[in-house]
Chain A
Amino acid sequence: MSSTPLASIKGLSKRFGGIAAVSDVSFDLVAGEVTALIGPNGAGKTTLINLVTGVLACDGGTISLEGEDITARPTHQRGTAGIARTYQTPQIAHGMSVLTNVMAGAYRFGQHGLLSSVFRPWVVMKENDEMAARAAQCLTRAGVAEQWWQRLATDLPYGLQRRVEIARSLAQDPKLLLLDEPAAGLNPSETADLSRLLSEIAADGRAVLLVEHDMGMVMSISSHIVVVNFGRKLAEGTPKDIASNKDVIAAYLGADEAVA
């Protein structure tokens, strides 16, 4: 597909105490494609997301976005640069409506900070309207019906909270979107909706990194799959390659099979 990747991860490592949570993992993320990151529980998938977003500092390796090394940048600068994420359990801000939650996601597009707020509130009001329009678009796209928008976000059912979270990350207009098990807890029809949505999001020209256990979903929407186990990259390739890879099958079925 496209020749230059949007983001590259090279030799990334992270240790917790004596345990290597991630060691020497490298792969590329290409704009317009869904890349899946799979592996057994505890393989280091969430740690990788935390390293890419800068929530954790890595012990070795580099992360670059659009050719620029961002390894040393703090989390908020990566957010501003266009890296957005969702969480294993939805992290919806309490005490805020659905719409405000998603408007908050558009933070990086605001021009007006503290001083403008105080001295030129009318500019901020206009900006709020723009952000609300953006948020409305994202909510519609993520499939959250308008009847919910003024409700407290934490009052929504679980499946809808997941959608609100995706809408919030879309409001950030991400170049790179990292999704941590977005299908967990969803029923089959919700999962199908989600698959369609994620394919569309990638088709916008964004790079999507999908951490997911639902193999049907992974196989159907990703162009590229990276398999990790015990913090190491085990295999990498197209869904077809991965489905027939012996190491991967062994890792998923257990060590006994690998020995035999």
Chain B
Amino acid sequence: MTTSTSNSNLRHDAVILAGLAVVLTLAELALTSQFHRSILILSMIHAIAAIGLTLLLGYAGQVSLGQGAFMGIGAYAAAFALQKLALPAPVALVAAVLLPGLLGFLIARPILRLSGHNLALGTLALGAVFFVVAAQWRSVTGGLDPGIVDLPSLAIAGFSHERILYILAGISLLSAIAVAVSLVDGRFGRGLMVLRTSELVAACMGVDTVRAKSMVFAIAAALSGLSGALLALYLRSFNASAFGVGLSIELLMMVILGSLSTVWGAIFGAFAIIVLPNLLEGFDHAKHLIYGLVMVGIMMFAPRGLGETLFRLVTRKRSVA
């Protein structure tokens, strides 16, 4: 063992995390444009769900095409807690993490009996079922029209709604990263990575594979829930169409645009997917076509993630997990 390399990535991760915190704080202080701030807020919010999917897909090797549904469950849980139960926003956020997390844990055991393309099919169907239910269960969701409207503004004591959301999303994102990087750093993470190659090998070395997979699925669902709840709080009005199959696919895009091997890729991916439509004139028109072509290209030439492959080309380093 050479002394220069540590056996944990955590110190390294902590430095980047601190750097990110500083950048986000400076950006908040420097930003004057409402538009730029909204892009950052949306990027941070989506990155949280994408981090969850990175853990599930990248580390544990389990695909989910239904993560948008867990975002939706988080969003509706938060809205329900705020409007119907008149609970304060922090409590609503906690509920929005716990409910999807618990649901994810319960669904995980049956659904993770599937693998490969069957798991993709099953989770896609799950996402579609959620969309149909959200669109129809009007007493809770308000359906497609009007949906959820007029969630309370979070502005307090000279802090605007946007500013509060920026802070909330920032803290949530930093915590999500901290949770994710420490989760994969220890033996739990190593067990997951072995499981990704072979469940048999992982089990023979003592990893309870069913439990490990269920935990990751639940964590990914909980992070999606947090992301969805923040989105709901920020937008204040939304309907079921925000949480359809398209959102699940966008989350998948964020992960593969970034990296399947590190949670940091999710931040890059989320930023790219949020910024591009806002940056390029007429992008929205050709959005699906471009996403589709990009996805095909990545799967053909950089299946471990575009950001990661580019990064390796530049640094010429073989990645070491």
Contact = CB atoms under 8 A, between A and B. Distances in A.
Q: Does chain A touch chain B in the assembled complex, meaning CB atoms less than 8 Å apart?
A: yes
B183 A105 contact: no
A172 B205 contact: yes
Contact of B203 (A75, A133, A168): A75
A75 B204 contact: yes
A104 B202 CA distance: 9
A93 B320 contact: no
A151 B318 contact: yes
B205 A79 contact: yes
A128 interface: yes
A168 B206 CA distance: 12
Contact of B189 (A91, A117, A127): A117
Interface string B296-308: 0000000010000
Contact of A152 (B2, B197, B320): B320
A125 B321 CA distance: 15
Given A95-B193, A114-B183, A132 B200 contact: no
B179 interface: yes
Interface stretch (A11-19, A80-88, A185-193, A236-244): A80-88
B191 interface: yes
A223 to B, nearest CB: 25
B8 A136 contact: no
Interface string B176-216: 00110011011111110110111011111111110000010
Nearest to A108: B206
Nearest to A110: B187
Interface of A: 53-55, 74-80, 83-85, 87, 91-97, 99-101, 103-108, 110, 112-114, 116-118, 121, 124-125, 127-129, 131-133, 136, 146, 149-152, 155, 168, 172
26 contacts: A78-B204, A79-B207, A83-B204, A87-B201, A91-B197, A94-B197, A96-B321, A97-B320, A97-B321, A99-B1, A99-B7, A107-B187, A113-B186, A114-B183, A114-B188, A114-B215, A117-B188, A118-B179, A121-B185, A124-B8, A124-B187, A125-B8, A125-B10, A128-B186, A151-B318, A152-B319
Query: Ordered nearest first, which 9 A-B pairs have the shortest CB separation?
Result: A79-B206, A110-B187, A132-B7, A124-B186, A104-B190, A75-B203, A108-B206, A80-B206, A93-B197
